[in-house]
Structure 1
Amino acid sequence: MITVENVSKSFPTNSSTGAPVVALRDVSLAVEAGSLYGVVGPAGAGKSTLARCVALQERPDRGVVRFDGLNTSTLDGRKLRDARRQLGVVDTRLQSERTVAGNVAAPLERLGVDGPQRRGRVGTLLDLIGLTRRASQLPADLTEGQRRRVAVARALAAGPSVLLADDPTGGIDADDAGAVLATLDRARAELGATVLLTTPDAGVARRVCDDVALLDRGAVVESGNVLGLLGKHGSKLANELLPSIETPRAQMTQYDLAVDVVLVGFAAVGALLPEAAGRFDVELATIGGGLTRFGDTPVARFRLGVRGQRADAALAWIAERGAHVTHTLYGLRNVAA
């Protein structure tokens, strides 16, 4: 388990004021062992600084990073090197003169792992990232997304318990990004690694993360389980993760009322609304929103136009069965378009 406790970090500045640049402000996170944790935030939020602090590449000015309770701020020399061996950091700078297999093998060579054992480990990792047939090729022969998958395999070579990936999908196309994320997910599922990734793209967290934190201006604005946040009123993360809703007011005024509803899971998305409409003899028309997936779980955020005398009862019944009615607009017939 990784625990970040009230970590703050500043850097000197070259400006005339001389005031330091504050990168992190009392950041606290708890990353469960074996989870895939995402830190989301805009450029300049402090994501990369946080990743370097967790990777023991930067020392916080204040606060503590712990691994399974071990206070890493007290480590130096050999103990610090031993702790760093438990961390795999995805570095996308591959050695251009070495093959794909050679790049993955490099950390094992430095550790003195013998040839047969080294080749076996490399083979396992190339299978994990789906590039076995590319083993003898050079990085220049690969797409950028494939090179990043090789970088993930190299970071996993020595068998770290924690894998750190700073913006692993930045600047690559959707197909390559999906393959990189699948590789990180397999590292967690098949190798048991705890994965911490940072990204400016909330969609990345939606696709693979168990838990997520929103970082802005160096501070944690919100954090929690990805699916658990969906029903949290006013959640900024949920708003980023869910499909957007845009509905002309003129369209909403055609109904008795309009509600925004979040549905989670196959049964809720597929059957809950039609069953409620039939049971309570009301019309539930989808007038905005859409479907997405959180990992393997389908999730919908719809704006519903509702007509019928038992509309409130229908919505209450839906909520009792796990739907989140996140916003309600009443009296729309009386609102000027």
Structure 2
Amino acid sequence: MITVENLTKSFPGKQNPVLALRDVSLEVGAGSLYGVVGPGKSGKSTLARVVALQEKPDRGTVRLDGLNTAGLDGRRLREVRRQLAVLDANQPLHAERTAAGNVAAPLEQLGVEGPQRRSRVGRLLDLAGLTQRAAQRPSELTEGQRRRVAIGRALAAGPAVLLADDPTAGIDADEAGAVLTVLDRARAELGVTILLTTQDASVVRRVCDDVAVLDSGRVVEHGSVLDLLASPGSRTAETLLPAIDTPRAQSARYDRFADVVLVGFAAVGALLPEAGSRFGVDLATIGGGLTRVGDTPVARFRVGVNGKQADSALAWIADRGAHVTHPIEGPKSVAA
């Protein structure tokens, strides 16, 4: 468990200090994959360095499994830092070493014996999907493969926490997907707690359990990704859910229309047809679409409803966990 309490961090500026973090608080559950998303210079990398104990905050506290890290120094600080690994996309691999040699480097520094070291390296290369690339040097690998080697290197010493600072920056979608798969496997198979920072909201949709949205050094929204997707006015929902663009003339064909967010296989697959059948209404999808958050299907549809019980059908859908909102514009719009 990582607990961040009221962190503030500033850096010297030309005239006044530059505030990188402003009273940031969040909780990262043990074994979770927590995303921190925001634009460039929003404070994401600073937060990762402070949690990794590489930077000291001006104010506030970082607790690791309840341990207040503020007063640590010397040997105890070094011991705690060994439980924290940082994956930095800008940190190069050793050019003269193979992929296996790069993963092995931290273990050599720790004096791990040869058989144990080789076993650990083999497991991590398998985790990274790079067993067949073990003997290749960084120059023979793609950028995405080098990122996966770097993940293996960061995990070599068996840290409890991995800080992954913008791990997919600058690589194409396929390679980014492979990098995210490795991080997800590390969480699932090794039990590593991962705090991931990114500018790309789609990264959150693919692998994160929880998210904090950081803007100008402040947390403006945080919580479970799935909960935020169903929250009215959520920035996470607006960023991750399919856009709705329905001409007004099309909406005018229906007695009622509404925007509906559905989460989960049962809701996405059956809730709308069942409402139509139960209330004897014609219910059509006239906008939006379907996406996935991890393995969970999530839909945002604009639905049009014709029939005397149109309002009852929409209310019934809402009562079963869907988030239903009625756009202001258009005919006969009412709030359920």
SS in 1 for 2:80: helix
Is the counterpart of residue 39 in structure 1 residue 20 in structure 2? Answer: no
Task: Tell me the equivalent position of 1:268.
Answer: 267
- 5 Å-filtered alignment, 1:4-23, equals 4-14=4-14, 18-23=15-20
The range that moved more, 302-311 or 23-32, is: 302-311
- 1:114 matched to which residue of 2? 113
Mapping for residues 152-231 of structure 1, pairs under 5 Å: 152-231=151-230
**1:124-145 Cα deviation digits (max 9, x unpaired):** 0000011001000001111111
Q: Which runs of no fewer than 5 residues in structure 2 stay unpaired?
A: none
Shift, 1:119, TM fit? 0.4
Matched letter for residue 53 of structure 1: V
Q: CA deviation at 1:331?
A: 5.3
> What amino acid does structure 1 have at the position aligned with 2:319?
E
Tell me how far 1:233 sits from its aligned partner. Answer: 1.8
Corresponding pairs, count: 331
The match for 1:66 is: 63
Tell me the alpha carbon deviations over residues 203-224 of structure 1, each in whole angstroms, 9 at most, x when there is no partner. 1111111110000000000100
Letter of the structure 2 residue corresponding to residue 284 of structure 1: L
Q: Which amino acid aligns with 1:278?
A: S
Partner Cα distance (1:301, 1:272) in 2: 13
- For the residue of structure 2 that corresponds to 1:299, the secondary structure is strand
Deviation (angstroms), 1:330 = 6.8
**Deviation for aligned residue 1:254:** 2.1
Distance of 2:177 and 2:212 partners within structure 1: 21
Cross-structure match for 1:52: 49
SS at match of 1:137: coil
Contact 2:256 2:311 (8 Å CA) reproduced: no
Equivalent of 2:23, from 12, 26, 43? 26
**What's the offset of the Cα at 1:250?**
2.2
Match of 1:82 in 2: 79
> Does 2:274 correspond to 1:249?
no
Q: Deviations over 1:42-63 (max 9, x none)?
A: 1111000001101111100110
Q: Distance in 2 between matches of 1:144 and 1:103?
A: 15
* Counterpart code for 1:50: L
How far the C-alpha of 1:91 sits from its partner, in A, is 3.0
Q: Residues 273-313 of structure 1, C-alpha deviation per residue, up to 9 Å, x if partnerless?
A: 11111221212211111100011111100011221111111
Amino acid aligned to 1:189? A
Identity of matched residues, %: 73
SS of the residue aligned with 1:63?
A: strand
Report which stretch shifted further, 177-186 or 234-243. 234-243
1:91 paired with 2:88, answer yes
Match of 1:326 in 2: 325
TM-score (norm 2): 0.96
* SS at structure 1 position matched to 2:260: strand
1:333 Cα shift? 6.6
Compute the displacement of 1:88 (Å).
1.2
